[in-house]
Amino acid sequence: MNDQDLPLSGLLVIDMCQFLSGPYASLRLQDLGARVIKIERPGAGDLSRSLYLSDTEIGGDSTIFHAINRSKESLALDLKNSDDLASLKRLLTSADVVLQNFRPGVIERIGLSYDSVRELNPRIVYASITGYGNSGPWVDRPGQDLLAQARSGVMWLNGDDDQGPVPFGLAVADMLAGSNVAQGVLAALVRRGVTGTGAHVETSLLESMVDFQFEVLTTHLNDGQRLPKRSEFRSAHAYLSAPYGVYPTADGYIAVAMTPIGKLGKLLELDALTNYSDPGSWFSDRDAIKKSLAEHLATHTTDHWLAILEPADIWCAKVLSWPELMASEGFKVLDMLQTVTREDGVSIQTTRSPLRINGRRAQTHRAAPKIGEQSSTIREEFGL
């Protein structure tokens, strides 16, 4: 797909963010065709350059930095330096979108609040991400993913009932906040196309985590505010009845979703399940049903059970490892991987955009930039 075919082609995004939430938003905008200029501190750059998920680094930077900053440009500016700050303000007069995830109060001290930037560029779409909003007792606390998960209540939905709070194995608060901001930016750009004026889009890690739980929180708020009750055995969802869960088989694992217990018992020839004709018992006897099912499924292979359940349209799936996923035709047909490179020999295999526009998925070829890699060309282009 030619970059000119993408819906945000021609738009300029200035990303002043670090770590994951803001850069995830600008990555989505970049995948839709926008040009993203990343503002980094001279010398140190984005702190996520040294945020290692493992002991793997590529070209001196962490894999996470490469994954989330592919195809962006880097302009090194010291925002404590008056000349560099003036250069950034000149650049913002040409921008369509600016993203920032400083702690509340910092951006105002720099002189780049929404009101200040709007005076420079009334058409700007300005996006802010914080940890917990702009007021309240947590406003100055670190807006970090695990801490936002901890404060959101979401950890009591994962794992079995006796495990205590269980966090997600991904930075879900960061990525959800970035996704929400990207949606807000796109809506504000549509509005700007009608009115000619920009807008200030705001969210926080906590707001995004609350929204993430909208289904179960709505249940909690309207059924006497009962707390979620996870299964004691093979829990996969605190609010769903048996058989919902993941079960070991003779050679792996199988996931079984919402299914009438009686029907499942007949298909599997498991008489113990045929006694549960009342759907209410699928909740009240959830653990007993799951234990019977687990013992039975462990007697044969995953493929054996799939051959029985899938033709009957039972919602089930083999639990795949990453190598199994990537070897599968279902993954290959999506063409979700790409290799991006840089002039200094850096080459990294990473994911592609999850979006298809007019039937085609955008692809990029340039790896994440070195600190200030495009500084001289950007300064010349914009007269900085």
Domain containing 178 — which CATH number? 3.40.50.10540
| 279 in the same domain as 203 | no
Query: In the numeric block, which tokens belong to residue 285?
Result: 């006897």
What's the confidence (pLDDT) of residue 1?
55
Query: In this structure, is the dihedral angle defined by the CA atoms of residues 239, 242, 246 and 248, taken in order, positive or negative?
Result: positive
Phi, psi dihedrals of residue 317, rounded to the nearest 5° = -160, 150
Structural domain boundaries enclosing 262: 249-327
Q: With respect to residue 19, please indicate whether it lies within any of the assigned structural domains.
A: yes
Q: With respect to residue 305, please indicate whether it lies within any of the assigned structural domains.
A: yes
| 346 in the same domain as 290 | no
| 86 in the same domain as 7 | yes
| 280 in the same domain as 184 | no
Q: Which residues contact residue 336 at a Cβ distance below 8 angstroms, ignoring those fewer than 6 apart?
A: 351, 352, 354, 361
Q: With respect to residue 66, please indicate whether it lies within any of the assigned structural domains.
A: yes
Q: Which region holds residue 345: left if phi is over 0, alpha if psi is between -120 and 50, else beta?
A: left
Query: In the numeric block, which tokens belong to residue 325?
Result: 């996923």
Q: With respect to residue 221, please indicate whether it lies within any of the assigned structural domains.
A: no
What's the confidence (pLDDT) of residue 235?
94
Q: With respect to residue 99, please indicate whether it lies within any of the assigned structural domains.
A: yes
Q: With respect to residue 289, please indicate whether it lies within any of the assigned structural domains.
A: yes
* Helical H segments across the chain, by residue range: 21-31, 63-69, 82-92, 106-110, 114-120, 145-152, 172-195, 205-212, 214-222, 261-268, 281-284, 286-297, 302-309, 322-327, 329-332, 375-382
Q: Which residues contact residue 34 at a Cβ distance below 8 angstroms, ignoring those fewer than 6 apart?
A: 8, 9, 11, 12, 13, 26, 96, 97
CB 153 within 8 A of CB 228: no
Short-list 156, 159, 143, CA closest to 208: 143
CB 245 within 8 A of CB 290: yes
| 140 in the same domain as 41 | yes
| 369 in the same domain as 278 | no
Q: How many separate domains does the chain show?
A: 2
Cα–Cα distance measured from residue 261 to residue 274, given in angstroms and rounded to the nearest whole number: 7
Please name every residue paired with 99 in a beta bridge, in sequence order, or none if there are none. 15, 127
Q: Per-residue confidence of the chain (384 residues) as pLDDT tens digits?
A: 566 789 999 999 999 999 999 999 999 999 999 999 999 999 989 999 988 677 778 888 999 999 999 999 999 999 999 999 999 999 999 999 999 999 999 999 999 999 999 999 999 999 999 999 999 999 999 999 999 999 999 999 999 999 999 999 999 999 999 999 999 999 999 999 999 999 999 999 999 999 999 999 999 999 999 899 999 999 999 999 999 999 999 999 999 999 999 999 999 999 999 889 899 999 999 999 999 999 999 999 999 999 999 999 999 999 999 999 999 999 999 999 999 999 999 999 999 999 998 899 999 999 999 999 999 999 999 999
CB 62 within 8 A of CB 28: no
Q: With respect to residue 222, please indicate whether it lies within any of the assigned structural domains.
A: no
| 155 in the same domain as 111 | yes
Q: With respect to residue 228, please indicate whether it lies within any of the assigned structural domains.
A: no
What's the confidence (pLDDT) of residue 55?
73
User: Annotated active-site positions, please?
Assistant: 174
CB 104 within 8 A of CB 140: yes
Cα–Cα distance measured from residue 257 to residue 237, given in angstroms and rounded to the nearest whole number: 10
User: Parallel, antiparallel, or unpaired for β 35-40 and 57-58?
Assistant: unpaired
CB 58 within 8 A of CB 348: yes
What's the confidence (pLDDT) of residue 3?
65
- What is residue 150's three-state secondary structure? helix
What's the confidence (pLDDT) of residue 384?
94
| 139 in the same domain as 102 | yes
Query: In this structure, is the dihedral angle defined by the CA atoms of residues 83, 89, 94 and 97, taken in order, positive or negative?
Result: positive
Cα–Cα distance measured from residue 354 to residue 159, given in angstroms and rounded to the nearest whole number: 28
The CA-to-CA distance between both ends of the chain, in Å, stands at 32
Cα–Cα distance measured from residue 348 to residue 342, given in angstroms and rounded to the nearest whole number: 9
Helix H or strand E segment including 203:
strand 199-204
Cα–Cα distance measured from residue 9 to residue 260, given in angstroms and rounded to the nearest whole number: 49
| 349 in the same domain as 317 | no
Short-list 185, 176, 166, 167, CA closest to 205: 176
| 169 in the same domain as 78 | yes
List b or e across 157-167, with b for residues whose CB sees 16 or more CB atoms inside 10 angstroms: bbbbeeeeebe
Cα–Cα distance measured from residue 61 to residue 84, given in angstroms and rounded to the nearest whole number: 25
What's the confidence (pLDDT) of residue 289?
96
| 40 in the same domain as 122 | yes
| 290 in the same domain as 376 | no
